[in-house]
């Protein structure tokens, strides 16, 4: 088994942290400025803050695991949950840049389902913007960001060689 922890972009982490801080300050300000409904609004904002903090922690808990017969992408349920890609389903593995895509559902920049114009429906789990690995299957495409993409591809390709064109 090979476990790869992704490298995490400081910009992605900083975006989530600053968003959480901004919402926290906004919640306190609303609670103080509008006493009648401010408490309720502050509770809603605190819940959103808790979700953002959960996403920050989950970015650092992301894992890409190569087992005997599959790739496991360990991701939180908020961004689509963990995925299993059986080696026999893999059609192509290559290094790629992290492309622009249209988010199909949700609000996280960290991961989820996207429409990529050149690929179609793609599950992306992005912890940085420079080191992507594209895994194509007949059902769905995946873009992940392992810490050492070349080494990850080097370990993955031999396991999928009979399927790769």
End-to-end CA distance of the chain: 25
pLDDT mean over 30-42: 83
**Length of the chain in residues, anyone?**
165
The per-residue pLDDT for 30 is: 86
Give CA–CA dist 70/147, Å, rounded: 19
Predicted local distance difference test score (pLDDT) of residue 135: 94
What is the distance between the alpha carbons of residues 102 and 107, in angstroms, rounded to a whole number? 11
> For residue 27, how many other CB atoms are within 10 A of its CB?
21
Of the two residues 133 and 56, the one the predictor is more confident about is 133
- Would you tell me the crossing angle of helices 35-61 and 10-33 to the nearest 10 degrees? 170
Mean pLDDT score, 152-159: 88
pLDDT of 15 higher than 60: yes
pTM of the predicted structure, to 2 decimals: 0.80
Q: Work out the percent of the chain whose per-residue pLDDT is above 90.
A: 19
Tokens found for residue 46: 């605190």
Answer whether residue 161 shows pLDDT above 90. no
Q: What is the pLDDT of residue 102?
A: 59
**If pLDDT is split at 50, 70 and 90, which confidence band does 137 have?**
very high
Q: What local confidence, expressed as pLDDT, does residue 103 receive?
A: 58
Q: Which residue has the higher pLDDT, 83 or 127?
A: 83
Q: Is 106 left (phi over 0), alpha (psi -120 to 50) or beta?
A: left
- Give the pLDDT confidence of 64-123 residue by residue, as tens digits: 999 988 999 998 887 788 899 999 999 999 998 876 665 556 555 677 888 888 888 889
Inter-CA distances, 142 with 18, 119, 120, Å: 28, 10, 11
């Amino acid at each position: 088994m090979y476990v790869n922890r992704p490298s995490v972009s400081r910009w992605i982490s900083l975006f989530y942290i600053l968003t959480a801080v901004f919402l926290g300050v906004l919640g306190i300000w609303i609670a103080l400025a509008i006493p009648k409904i401010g408490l309720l609004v502050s509770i809603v904002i605190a819940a959103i803050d808790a979700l953002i903090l959960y996403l920050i922690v989950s970015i650092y808990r992301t894992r890409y695991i190569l087992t005997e017969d599959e790739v496991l992408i360990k991701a939180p349920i908020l961004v689509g949950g963990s995925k299993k890609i059986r080696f026999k389903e893999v059609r192509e593995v290559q290094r790629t840049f992290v492309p622009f895509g249209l988010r199909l559902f949700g609000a996280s920049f960290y991961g989820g389902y996207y429409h990529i114009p050149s690929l179609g429906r793609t599950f992306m789990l992005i912890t940085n913007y420079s080191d992507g690995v594209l895994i194509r299957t007949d059902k769905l495409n995946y873009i992940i960001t392992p810490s050492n993409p070349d080494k990850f591809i080097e370990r993955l390709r031999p396991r999928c060689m009979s399927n790769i064109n």
